[in-house]
């Protein structure tokens, strides 16, 4: 069965229907009033895009799940502390430490549990190909009793085509699951899930993805082995806002599955399930809420030219009547500022690869633009 990653979205780079120039957004809450579930995000300041705390509540649960997130000097997630808040006391469940290579690629994560003296429980290791595509993720029980491995294949265009799941309970790895991906015009349109018995794959389920004319996934449907729709999700979008203006939170285990493309802001989704009468019934309906990152109340009309973006060394900013420009990291820390004229050039080479924010001041107003350092 397909595992629905409720809050994980793969962001594609296709052009959107329309862009609301000047404003950027960060996810603040995802909630379902129909099911009583809620996930909220807390940030350190008004322009940061990396949450420092995530709160999760599920209907019927007797506790609130709280994640405290920490980042290194490059803006990469370095640690998550996980807690349960039972109302009258808070208890740490576990914590995870992340390690990266010099390219900023995650190569290891270690999970510790305070229940066992703070001892190491699991180690997950990652490897990559020459194009920095993840090709393996291996989880090893710290006590040596259990291992599992995900192996990922890609085609010549760099699209993920196959996932192989293997498990080792002491007698060597055995392949037990297989997932195949199919594309049209680089858009994910189909998944096939297989289980293996004695090395022979058997089709378990299929997932089909549907898109609108702007490249937004509007629905996925999972069919069981009897060719009946068992699960379905419908996505809702704001076509006036391009997804490259939106910051979502990406779960650390987002490597586990591919997600469909969305080129405009996602405003929510509706889940359906097959009931006892073999009819699709509405399950939960989720709505997304966002913070506006720009501090301008009115829409700023500004003619700005920023190139190259992404940049490897220098980035050029051309704006008529520019007062000054500032460069921020994802935590809101100001890295650079310069009084403007019509053109400013910023040397990005001292900074690590990642996402940065430009704040451009013109005629007493400010405008944010996201840039990427390769």
**pLDDT at residue 342 above 90?**
no
Q: Are 65 and 194 found together in one domain?
A: yes
Q: Residue 323 region, left (φ>0) first, then alpha (ψ -120 to 50), else beta?
A: alpha
- What confidence tens digit (pLDDT) does each residue in 274-310 have? 898 888 999 999 999 999 985 443 444 567 889 998 8
* Domain, as residue range, for 280: 10-292
Short-list 194, 184, 248, 191, CA closest to 215: 184
Q: Are 219 and 346 found together in one domain?
A: no
Q: Is 254 helix (H, G, I), strand (E, B) or coil?
A: helix
Q: Is 26 helix (H, G, I), strand (E, B) or coil?
A: strand
Q: Is 75 helix (H, G, I), strand (E, B) or coil?
A: coil
Q: Are 243 and 329 found together in one domain?
A: no
- What confidence tens digit (pLDDT) does each residue in 95-119 have? 999 999 998 999 999 999 987 666 8
Q: How large is the average pLDDT for residues 325-353?
A: 83
Is residue 3 one of the residues assigned to a domain? Answer: no
Is residue 316 one of the residues assigned to a domain? Answer: yes
Measured between alpha carbons, how far is 229 from 218 in angstroms, rounded to an integer?
A: 16
CATH number at residue 105: 2.40.160
Cα-based distances in Å from 262 to 169, 200, 360:
39, 35, 28
Alpha carbons within 13 A on the beta-carbon side of 65: 16
Is residue 1 one of the residues assigned to a domain? Answer: no
**Domain-ending residue, one of 236, 258, 292:** 292
The distance in angstroms from the start CA to the end CA of the chain is: 37
327: number of Cβ within 10 Å: 21
Q: Are 233 and 160 found together in one domain?
A: yes
**Domain-ending residue, one of 262, 292, 322:** 292
- What confidence tens digit (pLDDT) does each residue in 181-227 have? 999 999 999 999 999 999 999 999 999 999 999 999 999 999 987 78
Position 22 scores a pLDDT of 59
- Tell me what percent of the residues of the chain surpass a pLDDT of 70: 90
- Split into its structural domains, the chain has a count of 2
Q: Is 244 helix (H, G, I), strand (E, B) or coil?
A: helix
Range in 1-5, 148-152, 194-198, 251-255 with the lowest mean pLDDT: 1-5
Instruction: Give residues with Cβ within 8 angstroms of 75, minimum separation 6.
Output: 50, 329, 330, 331, 352, 354, 355
CATH number at residue 337: 2.60.40.3080
Position 18 scores a pLDDT of 34
Q: What pTM does this model have?
A: 0.74
**pLDDT at residue 262 above 50?**
yes
**pLDDT at residue 2 above 60?**
no
Q: Are 269 and 197 found together in one domain?
A: yes
């Amino acid at each position: 069965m397909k595992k629905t990653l409720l809050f994980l979205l793969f962001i594609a780079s296709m052009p959107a229907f329309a862009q609301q120039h000047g404003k950027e957004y960060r996810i603040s809450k995802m909630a379902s009033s129909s099911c009583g579930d809620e996930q909220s995000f807390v940030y350190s300041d008004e322009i940061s895009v990396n949450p420092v705390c995530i709160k999760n509540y599920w209907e019927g649960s007797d506790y609130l799940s709280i994640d405290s997130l920490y980042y290194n000097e490059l803006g990469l997630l370095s640690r998550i502390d996980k807690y349960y808040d039972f109302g009258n006391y808070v208890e740490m469940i576990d914590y995870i430490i992340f390690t990266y290579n010099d390219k900023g690629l995650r190569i290891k994560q270690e999970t510790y549990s305070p229940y066992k003296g703070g001892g190491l429980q699991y180690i997950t290791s990652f490897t990559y190909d020459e194009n920095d595509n993840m090709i393996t993720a291996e989880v090893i029980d710290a006590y040596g009793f259990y291992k599992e491995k995900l192996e990922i294949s890609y085609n010549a265009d760099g699209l993920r085509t196959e996932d192989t799941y293997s498990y080792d309970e002491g007698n060597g790895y055995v392949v037990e699951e297989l997932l195949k991906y199919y594309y049209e015009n680089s858009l994910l349109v189909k998944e096939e899930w297989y289980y293996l018995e004695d090395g022979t794959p058997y089709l378990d389920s299929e997932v089909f993805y549907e898109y609108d004319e702007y490249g937004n996934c509007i629905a996925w449907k999972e069919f069981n082995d009897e060719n009946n729709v068992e699960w379905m999700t419908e996505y809702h979008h704001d076509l006036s806002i391009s997804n490259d203006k939106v910051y979502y939170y990406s779960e650390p285990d987002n490597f586990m599955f591919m997600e469909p493309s969305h080129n405009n802001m996602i405003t929510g989704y509706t889940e359906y399930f097959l009931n006892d009468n073999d009819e699709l019934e509405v399950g939960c309906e989720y709505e997304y809420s966002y913070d506006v990152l720009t501090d301008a109340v009115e829409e700023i009309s500004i003619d700005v030219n920023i190139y190259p973006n992404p940049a490897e060394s220098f980035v050029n900013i051309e704006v008529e009547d520019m007062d000054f420009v500032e460069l921020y990291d994802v935590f809101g820390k100001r890295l650079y500022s310069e009084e403007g004229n019509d053109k400013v050039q910023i040397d990005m080479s001292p900074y690590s690869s990642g996402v940065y924010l430009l704040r451009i001041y013109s005629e007493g107003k400010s405008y944010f633009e996201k840039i990427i350092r390769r």
